Structure 1
Amino acid sequence: MKMTVRVLALLTALSAVTVSADHWAVLVAGSYSWSNYRHQAGICHAYHVLHDHGIPDDHIVVMMYDDIAYNDLNPTPGIIINQPGGPNVYEDIVKDYTGRDVTPEVFFKVLTGDQAGVAGIGSGKVIRSGPGDHVFINMVDHGNTGFFSFPNGIMFADDLLNVITNMHENNQYREMVMYMESCESGSMFDGIYPDNIGFYAATASDPKESSYSCYYDDSRNTYIGDLFGCCWMENSDERDLTTMTLGEQHLIISECNNESHTPWYGQPSMQDEVVGAFLGKGNEKQRKSPTGWHSKEDTVPSVDVPLFILRNKLKKASEDEKVALQAEINGLFKKREFVQETTLNIATLATGDQELAEYYLDNPMRKVSDWTCYKRAVKAFNDKCFHFGENTFAIKMTPTLLNLCENSFGIDNILRRIQEVCKFGFVTGIE
């Protein structure tokens, strides 16, 4: 009898912790430009998922460049949609950090509650989570092995790990869930995270795969959704989040996100937590899509979105327009060849062996052990050769730099070769 009383008391105490837990969320779109429309559309949609499930605005931090809603290319100024015929997800959106304030440094300060660190920046809002609280993070952009790109800056996996483990040690959360959408996003967590710090992540792709985009919009001439993001958000719009577990939602997302794998990382027991513990348990203002679940048969690899945008334009163009569009497509391939040739030149000089350099270019390495070398090489490639925010295709070249680091060609040697090759000045528009 005494044992039963003790068990009941323990369950009651645990239940009280869960019920009284605050919900906090940070939503990040790490890109800009019209061709990346889908990233900000997804973050705006994510905001409404959380808001409509009862998480108050002062507990949600949104970081987005904010150059889409009133972009000159937007046929519906002030309106952003994330699915065909869907609602305006830009309506009533919270915008805490925009433009040049969307950086890894600001993100880390927001996540760790560093109020002084963001003084005078954006809204100055941070999350103030404590030992009983649940934190949800959604990040959407381009990425590659071991990093996630921001409009200005690069977030590396080891830095993210350090921030989260420090938060755990400082009792700044009870449990944390992260949904990350980018190419090779699994590399941000694979083999890195312990399984006992109350952390769980699901990603749009494994460490070696592209993520995928969907919903090409003819009137906007761009893709308005990302496959992984639309899968979890449309599911969350339609389901009762107080009964569906993270594990159950992951199975649904995995089936929907069928162009790439959808791995999860972290603490296995968290798959038994209900989704509502992180996305909110309210239902009063939930607004479901008027058009329901959509077929996602027009998916394309995220890196090839600019190419498929041009090809879609070409299909409906007049004969005169087709000439100019084909020239644009040819130009896109030439720009990409320039990036590849530049990378090959760097690798050839660093190794002294063109055949080996070609092998590294064609056989990207995906596991980082020498973080110091890799981070310095990637930053130098971004700063001296092709700024990733302006030249997203260049992100694909970074595993070649990883090959150089992991095969002991030396960071000083690599940096010298980057300096020697990249003397062509500031380059933009290589997508």
Structure 2
Amino acid sequence: MKLTVGVLALLSALSVVSADNWAVLVAGSYSWSNYRHQAGVCHAYQVLHDHGIPDDHIVVMMYDDLADNTKNPTPGIVINEPDGPNVYEGIVKDYTGADVTPEVFFSVLKGEEAAVAGIGSGKVIKSGPEDYVFINMVDHGNTGFFSFPHSHLYADDLFQVIKDMHSNNQYKEMVMYMESCESGSMYDGIYPDNIGFYVTTSADPTESSYACYFDDLRDTYIGDRFGCCWMENSDTSDLTTLTLGEQYQIIKECNLKSHSPWYGQPSMLDEVVGTFMGMGKKPNSFRQWHSKDDAVPSEDVPVAILRNKMNKANGEEKIALQAELNTLLKKREFVQEITKNIATLVTGDQELAEHYMANPKRKVNDWTCYKRAVDAFNDKCFQFGENPFAMKMTPTLLNLCENNFSADNIVRRIEEVCNFGSVTGFE
């Protein structure tokens, strides 16, 4: 029996696999001084939600200590731009507090429900060969790693997960926007241009990321320059016509304090942004564009917060803030001195140690040595989640590894020098 043209068309339509959008949004920090990171992820959620991506296709990982923070003058409200809307309203919170880890993040990406059973919402992305995945990661970082609240994620491990997802047909194309210092080092020279992957970062492999929008009411920076650039553009543009390449140029021109590189598959620059962030919302052409000229390097945020508070203070309050700033700066000198002591013991040469500190390596070749050294420095000296400034010392450790000093030697010296117990507040 011959099939009619109509039946053939119906069968053909049924055989086509529909494409879905999936998204994972991660803020890796906590504390009021890092307000901007979680505020950015909340804003990213609103962008995706407003453009039609359903909540069951969005996974949000954030510590969630802002809305009800004792320092929050507007309880329940989180903003990401001056006088901006409450980006915390309606937010999906799948993994919070201690559940925000690299291991959970990887399980979410790979769709491993069993691995996150009993943790947070247990939600994972279930992307397939025709699906589009968008990932936004916001926090501190340094050469070859991105920080989480109590641990960190390495570039080689992230690449392995993305490569495995590609091999297992778990996405058609994937876009990632990463905000952190030295974030370009997470991708530079690592990703091929043929696995349907595109990423742009807030900084190149050697640069700091920048905070912006100091809020006098909240006494903290509420935005990151790179993140605010792409999200405010997404809020005010037609994502059904704006391409990734066009948005990249807008980000590059907006994020003037650092250089935002891109990596991955060049052909994806011609894809429209809505393919990954959703096609459902018309642009808000009346939204105000705010100056970001108050931007400061991410590592200088704690210092800048104190100085901004001092500018408003008088009398004893100002004296107390100056003392707090002096203590913070002395703590940073201590971090640098500890690092120099470690490098001196490893090399047996203080002049060489100082040279390695002044001329840090930025390209990881010996991942085994570097990861052991960074892990030891984090575990024995300064927990990065509580002492972000200490991350600035890790390129010195990389220099030791890349100059053929053994991981055993480096770890042993770290354990010898860092015998002062757990410390905090070395921001």
TM-score (norm 1): 0.95
Q: Which residue of 2 aligns with 1:424?
A: 420
Q: Which residue of 1 aligns with 2:335?
A: 339
1: distance between equivalents of 2:331 and 2:119? 36
2: distance between equivalents of 1:97 and 1:326? 38
Instruction: Supply the AA of the counterpart residue of 1:292.
Output: Q
CA 202–429 in structure 1, closer or farther in 2 if over 3 Å, else same: same
- DSSP 3-state at the match of 2:241: coil
Q: Which residue of 2 aligns with 1:4?
A: none
Cα contact 1:86–1:290 (8 A) shared by 2: no
Among 81, 84, 87, the residue aligned to 1:86: 84
Among 23, 26, 29, the residue aligned to 2:24: 26
Matched, 1:76 2:74: yes
Q: Give the paired residue count.
A: 415
2: distance between equivalents of 1:384 and 1:187? 25
Q: Which residue of 1 aligns with 2:4?
A: none
- DSSP 3-state at the match of 1:94: coil
Cα distance, 1:363 vs. partner? 1.1
Q: Which residue of 2 aligns with 1:120?
A: 118
Deviations along 1:47-99, one digit per CA (max 9) or x if unpaired, are: 00000000000000000000011100000000000000110000000000000
Alignment of 1:139-178 (within 5 A): 139-178=137-176
- DSSP 3-state at the match of 1:208: coil
Among 270, 289, 301, the residue aligned to 1:305: 301
Q: Which residue of 2 aligns with 1:276?
A: 274
2: distance between equivalents of 1:315 and 1:232? 31
Q: Which residue of 1 aligns with 2:93?
A: 95
Matched, 1:261 2:223: no
Q: Which residue of 1 aligns with 2:103?
A: 105
Instruction: Supply the AA of the counterpart residue of 1:238.
Output: T
Matched, 1:135 2:133: yes
4+ runs deviating over 2 angstroms: 288-291
Cα distance, 1:330 vs. partner? 0.6
Cα distance, 1:289 vs. partner? 9.1
Deviations along 1:115-147, one digit per CA (max 9) or x if unpaired, are: 000000000000000000000000000000000
Instruction: Extract unaligned runs of 5+ from structure 2.
Output: 1-8
Cα contact 1:30–1:102 (8 A) shared by 2: yes
2: distance between equivalents of 1:363 and 1:94? 43
Give the % identical residues: 76
Cα contact 2:176–2:199 (8 A) shared by 1: yes
- DSSP 3-state at the match of 1:202: strand
Among 360, 372, 375, the residue aligned to 2:371: 375
1: distance between equivalents of 2:418 and 2:292? 40
Q: Which residue of 2 aligns with 1:348?
A: 344
Q: Which residue of 2 aligns with 1:61?
A: 59
Instruction: Extract unaligned runs of 5+ from structure 1.
Output: 1-8
Cα contact 1:30–1:149 (8 A) shared by 2: yes
Cα distance, 1:322 vs. partner? 1.2
Cα contact 1:86–1:289 (8 A) shared by 2: no
Q: RMSD of aligned C-alpha atoms?
A: 1.4
Matched, 1:320 2:316: yes
Instruction: Supply the AA of the counterpart residue of 1:131.
Output: P
Q: Which residue of 2 aligns with 1:194?
A: 192
Matched, 1:412 2:408: yes
2: distance between equivalents of 1:289 and 1:333? 44
- DSSP 3-state at the match of 2:294: coil
Matched, 1:292 2:292: no
Instruction: Supply the AA of the counterpart residue of 2:95.
Output: Y
Q: Which residue of 1 aligns with 2:381?
A: 385
Cα contact 1:141–1:148 (8 A) shared by 2: yes
Cα contact 2:386–2:424 (8 A) shared by 1: yes
